[in-house]
Amino acid sequence: MNKKKFIQVFEYQKLRYDDSGDFRNHHFDAMVKFNELHQNKYFTIIHKGIQFGSYVGVIQIGGLTIEILPKADNNENADKNLWQNVLLNMLKVCKHIQVESISETQLKKRYHSILDVYFEMYLIEIERLVKKGLIKKYRKNQSNQNALKGKLLFAQNIQQNLIHKERFYCEHQVYDKNYLLHQILFKGLLILKSFINDSLKDKLNRLLFEFQEFENINIQKIHFDKIILDCKNQDYQKALEIAKIIILNYSPSLNYGDENLLTLLFDMNTLWEEYIFRVLQKHKTEEVEVSFQNSDKFWENKRIRPDIVLKTKDETFVIDTKWKIVKANNPADDDLKQMFVYNLHWKAEKTLLLYPKTNQADSDFGTFHFDDLGKKCKLGFVDITNEFMIKNSGMVAKEIFSKL
């Protein structure tokens, strides 16, 4: 029986620990420690609990999974399955889940939490590599030998074999599978032992058996930087990318008892910005150029960076995305000033402040009164859901283009 607990909350929602519930005091303590190690950016500590912010995703503490979902509606009883599907779809579009074979229908039905998507794809990729045959590679090995083999390391030999004169501390080449790339994949499998659901345990154990002779080392970011993919090992790319996500988001130092912590969190403002760009880029016409995160010098060492810039042969438009619910369709003063600067600096005719839609209507284009330049700005709202379903990305793109 699967004993793992699962809690779903929305962004900005509060979660308090209660000894009679699934979220306990030791879970709270681990989350506080994790948040402190990251400058308290992921959530706010409140009395006997947590208040989530703009970060969405998954926090898994041993047997407890907490999934934080985005929400762009005013419904207190919002459909959590719908917003989980929205998050999964946005991650897929933004290539944070690089799973071309998974359809939107599968994303809706198959997974308990978004971490399960990563876990299953990791096992699928490792299994595929094992069936194909793990690549051997020459590597340098340093060890004590009963016979001189390769190059004698004098300093280490004196240190190791002062008494055992019959031994030689040598460096020699070995042709096998026990090298850094496979050690990284092995570490990812070992981490999954603490977090994976029961339905995937058999597959995980079979793969761990294939890796049982590999060395278990402490993998850090620097190890991933050492990996160079070439024509021989290019097939490892997807497995390596998922391993990097699993290993670098794993916090074994935050354990309470036998429970470790694994996180996969995304700033919803950044995710919304990238999602809108990728949707526009995918469905643009040949006459439109769409660019993302343009950056230019502004003042001294400060730079200016609009979210998305659209260019046609005759016009330039700037889109500034904002993931928040606003009731009025009048822009705030600070937003207007920011968009006016974008108009001037990027020589844009129009700028658009783009929000997720609940029940608002777009504003009309208003004109900036400055030297009769005729620069314009408005608020726009786009719905990424269609009643109880995710809206097709082509429809989303068409709706945004029509606003300009």
Among residues 127, 257, 248, 141, which one has the least CA distance to residue 191? 248
Q: Phi then psi for 366, rounded to 5 degrees?
A: -100, 150
Residues 284-403, CATH architecture: 3-Layer(aba) Sandwich (3.40)
Query: HSE (CB half, 13 Å, CA atoms) of 214?
Result: 24
**Residue range(s) of every CATH 3.40.1350 domain in the chain:** 284-403
Neighbours of 254 (CB within 10 A): 19
Asked if residue 188 lies in contact with residue 216, where contact means CB atoms within 8 angstroms, the answer is: no
d(CA 150, CA 142): 10
Strands 259-267 and 55-61: antiparallel
355 vs 72: CA distance, rounded Å: 9
DSSP string, 29-42: HHHHHHHHHTTT-S
Q: What is the pLDDT of residue 101?
A: 47
Supply the pLDDT for residue 111: 58
Report the run of H or E that residue 292 belongs to, with start and end: strand 289-292
Contacts 24+ apart (CB under 8 A), 16-19: 16/46, 16/47, 16/48, 16/49, 16/50, 17/48, 17/49
pLDDT at 90: 92
Rg, C-alpha atoms of the chain = 26
Query: What DSSP element (H or E) covers 69?
Result: strand 64-69
Taking only the tens of pLDDT, the chain with its 404 residues reads 346 789 999 999 999 998 678 999 989 999 999 999 899 999 999 999 999 999 999 999 888 999 999 988 767 778 888 898 899 899 989 988 765 545 544 445 455 788 888 899 999 999 999 999 999 888 777 778 777 776 777 777 778 877 777 788 887 677 888 899 999 999 999 999 988 888 889 999 999 999 988 989 999 999 999 999 999 899 999 999 999 999 999 987 665 555 689 999 999 999 999 999 999 999 999 899 999 877 888 888 888 888 999 999 889 999 999 998 887 778 888 988 999 998 888 889 999 999 998 888 898 898 888 766 778 999 999 999 887 788 889 999 999 999 98
The tokens for 101 are 């074979």
Dihedral of the alpha carbons of 96, 100, 103, 107, in degrees to the nearest 10 = -30
**Cβ-count burial of 231 within 10 angstroms (0-12 exposed, 13-18 middle, 19+ buried)?**
exposed
The CA-CA-CA angle for residues 336, 337, 339, to 5°, reads 65
Q: What are the C-alpha distances in Å from 398 to residues 16, 90, 206, 267, 381? A: 42, 17, 47, 25, 13
DSSP three-state, residue 314: coil
The residues with which 318 forms a beta bridge, in sequence order, are 309, 351
pTM here? 0.84
pLDDT of residue 172: 67
